[in-house]
């Protein structure tokens, strides 16, 4: 049974999400602000966090960044604002999905199922591959990337995207293929999600960003001799 942490300062929101989540068979814990969520995550493990952005004491973005320092847990962000900037910033700090208020509880449950499914598949696949491209080292089994000997700090989705690109190096990959394989067939995003994460990944790879080649009108490929 998956354990979900619901973080929102609105009691009615928490009650509605809890009701639907428990009906789907999930275990649920609630927090009314970001600070409480951070403290709960220090003491417990969760399979998914549903996090509001605008909260007292500690906002959702800050709470998410603090939690991801020690826990690799998927996050669905809730917000009353639907601006593209908010969504892109959320993806940059490592969230997995973004839902704008007001939302349909049934749609939220579908997104929860999709994120938990992707997370389970990602963690269950055993990989034993280590690749070295000059000063870039990619350790898939250890989920580690080193740039000139220094460990890179990347979001969980950046790791997933890089690993898929490396495993399929020198193969042209469309944006749709990347969405299907890295985010899952039932992901609710669009092509811009891929482009945003490619930009973030290139920044993380620094001078080795050139390994990720843009294929105009199609997608990307990881181009390397190995």
pLDDT 10s digits, 28-40: 999 999 999 999 9
Q: pTM of the predicted model, to two decimals?
A: 0.61
DSSP assignments along the chain, one per residue: --EEEEE-S-HHHHHHHHHHHHHTT-EEEEESSHHHHHHHHHH---SEEEEESS-SSS-HHHHHHHHTTT----EEEEES---HHHHHHHHHTT-SEEEESS--HHHHHHHHHHHHHHHHHHHH-----EEEETTEEEETTTTEEEETTEEP---HHHHHHHHHHHHTTTS-EEHHHHIIIII-TT----HHHHHHHHHHHHHHHGGGGGGEEEETTTEEEE----
* pLDDT, tens digit only, all 226 positions of the chain: 899 999 999 999 999 999 999 999 999 999 999 999 999 999 999 999 999 998 988 999 999 989 988 888 899 998 877 666 777 777 778 788 888 888 999 999 998 988 888 776 555 444 457 889 989 999 887 888 999 999 998 888 899 999 999 999 999 999 988 988 888 755 566 678 889 999 999 999 999 999 999 999 899 999 987 6
3-124 has which CATH code? 3.40.50.2300
Multiple choice CATH, 130-222, 3.30.70.1710, 3.30.70.260, 3.30.365.10, 1.10.10.10: 1.10.10.10
Q: Domain boundaries in the chain?
A: 3-124, 130-222
């Amino acid at each position: 049974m998956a354990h979900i942490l619901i973080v929102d300062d609105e009691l009615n929101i928490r009650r509605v999400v809890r009701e639907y989540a428990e009906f789907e068979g999930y275990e649920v814990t609630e927090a009314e602000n970001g600070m409480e969520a951070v403290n709960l995550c220090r003491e417990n493990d969760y399979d998914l966090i549903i996090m509001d952005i605008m909260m007292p004491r500690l906002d959702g973005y800050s709470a998410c960044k603090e939690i991801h320092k020690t826990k690799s847990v998927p996050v669905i962000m809730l917000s009353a604002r639907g601006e593209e900037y908010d969504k892109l910033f959320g993806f940059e700090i490592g969230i997995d999905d973004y839902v704008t208020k007001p939302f349909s509880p049934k749609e939220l449950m579908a997104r929860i199922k999709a994120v938990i499914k992707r997370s389970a598949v990602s963690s269950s696949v055993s990989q034993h591959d280590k690749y070295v491209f000059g000063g870039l080292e990619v350790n898939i089994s250890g989920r580690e990337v080193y740039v000139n000997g220094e460990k890179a700090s990347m979001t969980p989705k950046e790791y997933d995207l890089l690993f898929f690109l490396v495993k399929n190096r020198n193969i042209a990959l469309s944006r749709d293929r990347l969405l299907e394989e890295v985010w899952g067939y039932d992901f609710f995003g669009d092509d811009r999600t891929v482009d945003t994460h490619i930009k973030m990944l290139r920044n993380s790879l620094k001078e080795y960003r050139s390994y990720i080649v843009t294929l105009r009108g199609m997608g990307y490929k990881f181009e390397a001799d190995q």
